[in-house]
A and B are shown apart, each in its own frame.
Chain A
Amino acid sequence: MTPLLGYRAVSRLLAPVATLLLLATSPALAQTPERPAAARRESRTNLSGYMDFHYNKVEFTDGRLDFHRFVLLVTHSFSDRIRFVGELELEHALVEGLEDAGELELEQAYVDFLLHRSFNVRAGMMLMPIGIINERHEPPMYYGVERPFVDTVIIPTTWFETGVGVHGEVGRGWRYRAFVAAPLNAAEFSAGEGVRGGSQKGSESNIGRAAVTGRLEYVGRRGLTLGASAWSGHSGFEFRPRFDVPVSVVAADARYSRNRLELRGQFAHVAIEHADQLNDALARRVGVDPNIARAMRGFYGEAGYRVISGARFGDVGAFARYENFDTQFRMPAGAVRLPQFDRDAFVVGANFWPDPDVAVKVDYSIVRNRSAFIQAPNSLNIGLGWWF
């Protein structure tokens, strides 16, 4: 498809959305046919954020202190039905030009037009609704200092792109999101970290052929969340001569908490079509075959238990997580599967919450791969995370 056709397709999508946005200002779409004496909220602005401070001791290397994330969120309500949400993140404390140091990222900056409980419109920089962590990554919310490996090399959290879409709750705890967004850039894929480098991050993103993504989620039973997510896009736009690299990501996840117990699990699969052509094109560009797979897969299961809950000094929880992740699950014809990218991780640790919004974390990650020659390093991690 040419960029012109892509523009037309996007225009067709935007036309009904624009109509709905105009309707958003209409009093006819009021939420309640009859209201008590109404108290119209004045517009207001809120500031919030979270931080992540880590000590990482990876086997065979010196320990590192890293102020991993400094995140500020700002929201503004123009009215009850028009809201702005922004999230600005500084990673690794320092950003220097042209150096592979920290990153300053605009992770969210969207306006929500809240039309109806079952149908709302969102436009701007948005989180892709894939998996557990991508939309729920405030440090006190999860066990472990670092995010799960599956949420790093299979699902590229934090995954955000510019786009437009709809979301809502259709009743009895069923929710959905469906977005059109900028696609991943296949020129940045790698053997070890999968599609992680491919996010365009809203920086003059190529939108010749927009990606589509969505999530169906069930939250109707206390303590239980079930989710199914999918993403599909065409990622070969950077190559000349142009060729198509269709990419799809599917994920299923479940979380359950009851009293002190919390269980969670996730499965994710990435499929890259024409990976052989992609490897050829990248080899011509950089001189080395990047050995990118045609399928990547990962899953994990985690159990956490608050061994102390409600004490005056806070809560203490212990957890264990098993992960299996392989960024070379299936290779294109003629490519050799490298066993060091077929990995398992067993992570054990504890969280101490002196306050529900402050978490002191410690964990030990035992990582194994299938290679007889290249050893995956274990790591000791200590972290302090907070939300305000």
Chain B
Amino acid sequence: MRAVTRVLAVLLLVALSDTHASLQDTPAAGVQVVEISAERFSFTPSEIRVKAGTRLELRLRSDDTTHGFHIIGTDIDIELPKRGRGTTTVEFQPKAGRYTFECSQLCGAGHEFMRGVIIATE
């Protein structure tokens, strides 16, 4: 039991050490690139914080089956091809607010858990 506890504690520390969204340097002025991986049944990162008005370039990739990427309340609803079949890029410039995104392609028993949020603040 002690060994199991120790292993879990180490994994928890590793997890807590890197909890922020994957924001990269911009390829063009004013554009912020975010790489998002989709895997049954989560997006990573699932929480993205930006300043309102930032031009976001979302680079999405699936690590297993076909997924969807839909930002609720917007026209953005795309299909992410299966593992190894490339990255899909979406541009999004949020006003201040919270934008929930979700998998829009049925991907398995836990499909409904596959959600995330973009939080744009002033």
Give chain A's interface residues, CB within 8 Å of chain B: 30-41, 46, 48, 50, 73, 75, 80, 83, 85, 87, 108, 112, 114, 117, 127, 135-138, 140-141, 167, 169, 171-173, 175, 218-226, 252, 254, 257, 265, 267, 299, 309-310, 315, 355-357, 387
Contacts and interface: CB of A to CB of B under 8 A. Distances in A.
B71 to A, nearest CB: 9
Interface in B79-122: 82-84, 94-100, 105-113, 115-117
Of all A-B residue pairs in the complex, the 5 with the closest CB atoms, nearest first, are: A219-B42, A356-B82, A39-B75, A35-B73, A34-B97
Given A73-B109, A141-B108, A257-B63, 15 more contacts: A32-B97, A35-B99, A73-B106, A75-B106, A80-B72, A171-B47, A225-B42, A226-B12, A226-B15, A254-B11, A265-B7, A299-B4, A356-B82, A357-B82, A387-B65
B42 to A, nearest CB: 4
B41 to A, nearest CB: 7
A64 B110 CA distance: 31
21 contacts: A31-B100, A33-B97, A35-B95, A40-B73, A41-B70, A50-B108, A85-B111, A135-B109, A136-B41, A138-B108, A141-B40, A175-B42, A219-B42, A221-B19, A226-B11, A226-B15, A265-B7, A299-B4, A310-B84, A356-B65, A357-B66
Interface of B: 4, 7-8, 11-12, 14-15, 18-20, 22, 37, 40-42, 44-47, 63-66, 70, 72-75, 77, 82-84, 94-100, 105-113, 115-117
Contact of A136 (B7, B74, B108): B108
Contacts of A30: 73
Contact of B96 (A34, A75, A265): A34
A141 B83 CA distance: 12
A73 B105 CA distance: 12
Contact of A141 (B64, B99, B106): B64
